[in-house]
Structure 1
């Protein structure tokens, strides 16, 4: 099999990023083979696979030495890639006259729990609660940022969550968010699920000129007429005639729009929504926050639905890039 044309394409992209100014030819050569292997069907995440699937001319131990001892700066590689991504995504947003989205979420790269007699456990692994499995699993927990429009998405930045380091996932998200520098011609909306919209993270987004659209837990405190009440309790007072029907894609919702203060934010829009074919009970309630009060109900729900872009990426990374198994999962520490 002739991989020359494939390697040339990868090498050309690295030159577009300007990597020749920062990395030696041998380092760039290793990176070309690495990307080739990662994107080849059949790759399962080992150094042996990198050599086999990319037809690397050197022994596997050469690759091991490259990852552990070679003087190359992965942060510089990420920086140059991020600069390229931001140029691309801003061009797309202007071209489509659409907002730019930043999705924040975390995922677990599950590993096999080592034996108690194992001399060396995998670095950075710990027990993390998996919402998918409804139990704690052993592995790496990664906090990700993705930038995207309605039509195109780019994984942008990630950090390994290390419980022992004493920094929360919120702290890591705020740190990664700060790498989104620049002035944006299009509005930027930061999307997140109900585990992330803390006061600190919302304030960090607003400080950078970004709006937030996020799911809220149903026990989030609202202040209708100045009275503190949980969203799920407030919802009990809402009658069907107080709602309006909103269609997003193939789904139809009953929506009640609340405007005012919530805990941690003085002025916001909160949509209390139920699928049209489900009863208006707390068990079926969806609570969606928007810091942009100019958006209509349909726009808020349509923008919030874009959060699934990052979930699709997690699935693809695990199925195709083997992020659960790969030796590269500890990058970004």
Structure 2
């Protein structure tokens, strides 16, 4: 029987990454089938779906072995993927004459935490505070780093936040930033949970600027007097602000320049939506370490952080970033890397965003399967052989 034609696109991507120099043919075969399964509509994250959705010719247990015991180096795969991503985003940023953006955020892959006496518990699961659900959730907490331009955003690196290891999320982010070797101007984007003094200093040391949301209890020093942002906001009148338009939204903005806790010199924007009252509960506070940027550019650049939120939702909804059933720590990490690989492959195939790429790949797979059956019939291949290869025997 012939190989499936739609696998050729995955092989082409692997060739572009240079994986044949580092992985054996059996490993590459597994990787091709896993990527194929993950792009399949209805994929749930189970080994059964990985086996069935890609029409894998070997028994399902070989996939389990591939995740848990096979000696292939997942870090090599990640490194080659990252090298390709950096070349790609630097080329795009140069063409657009735009800076690079790096977004840092964390997400929880929710799992039901079993009893400590369970014989088959998923390793490294713990309880984590969820900012969105306002409660503690069991599972794995991942700190992700996304590299993007104004038009394309790629998941670049992640670290498992393990409370037992004693490293903070900020320290994990600093470690990931150290692997960024770029020559374009870089703006690191963070929400209000992440801009610690150590992380901001690490960015500045690398020559990266930071644009981040701040909590409104942060201290400002207007005229040398320490005051919380939300208290200072009481003294700002509408005629002290000016209107800034970003996309379809209009904002009232008050600009402060000077020192704040942990920084000697920065810009802080106090921002309200133009159609909302200028009260502390509607206040947003945005930090920029680049004082040369206009208020509009600071807000426009910060809006690029939405890319990482989109990635979390798409990776969970479509590729089941949180749907894995493997239990070992290394197996789970391998699963996450393969989700990342599949996400980037979808963008590679369409040269657009992930959603467009995934739609293209799913449509192409449907067409190729029809063609596969058609050509098998023309070659008088027994129908039972076709059914067996398509896992419908």
Say whether the fold is shared (TM-score over 0.5): yes
Q: Is the counterpart of residue 230 in structure 1 residue 228 in structure 2?
A: yes
- Given the superposition, is the C-alpha separation of residues 208 and 116 from structure 1 closer, same or farther in structure 2, using an over 3 Å criterion? closer
Partner of residue 253, structure 1? 251
Alignment of 1:86-235 (within 5 A): 86-115=86-115, 118-184=118-184, 187-235=185-233
* Secondary structure of 1:5's aligned partner: coil
| Between 11-20 and 46-55, the greater mean CA deviation after superposition | 11-20
Partner of residue 68, structure 2? 68
CA contact (8 A) 2:218 2:228 kept: yes
1: CA distance, partners of 2:272 / 2:262? 24
- Shift in Å, 1:197: 0.7
- Shift in Å, 1:119: 2.3
Question: Which of the two has greater helix per residue?
Answer: 2
- Shift in Å, 1:4: 1.7
From 311, 330, 333, the equivalent of 1:330 is 333
CA contact (8 A) 1:323 1:329 kept: no
From 277, 301, 304, the equivalent of 1:303 is 301
- Shift in Å, 1:70: 1.1
- Shift in Å, 1:130: 1.0
* Secondary structure of 1:330's aligned partner: helix
- Shift in Å, 1:265: 0.5
1: CA distance, partners of 2:29 / 2:333? 21
1: CA distance, partners of 2:42 / 2:278? 47
CA contact (8 A) 2:113 2:126 kept: no
Unaligned runs of 5+ in 2: 338-393
- Shift in Å, 1:127: 0.5
| Between 256-265 and 17-26, the greater mean CA deviation after superposition | 17-26
CA contact (8 A) 1:245 1:255 kept: yes
- Shift in Å, 1:112: 2.0
The Cα RMSD (Å) is: 1.6
Q: Is the counterpart of residue 319 in structure 1 residue 317 in structure 2?
A: yes
- Shift in Å, 1:5: 2.1
- Shift in Å, 1:116: 6.1
Aligned length: 331
- Shift in Å, 1:213: 0.4
2: CA distance, partners of 1:111 / 1:67? 19
Unaligned runs of 5+ in 1: none
CA contact (8 A) 1:140 1:329 kept: no
List per-residue Cα deviations over 1:261-303 (Å, max 9, x = no partner): 0100100000001111111111111000001111101111111
- Shift in Å, 1:120: 3.0
2: CA distance, partners of 1:171 / 1:114? 29
CA contact (8 A) 2:37 2:50 kept: yes
Q: TM-score, normalised by structure 2?
A: 0.82
2: CA distance, partners of 1:113 / 1:149? 38
1: CA distance, partners of 2:219 / 2:212? 15
* Secondary structure of 2:6's aligned partner: helix
* Secondary structure of 1:139's aligned partner: strand
2: CA distance, partners of 1:241 / 1:231? 18
1: CA distance, partners of 2:217 / 2:129? 21
2: CA distance, partners of 1:165 / 1:272? 37
- Given the superposition, is the C-alpha separation of residues 260 and 3 from structure 1 closer, same or farther in structure 2, using an over 3 Å criterion? farther
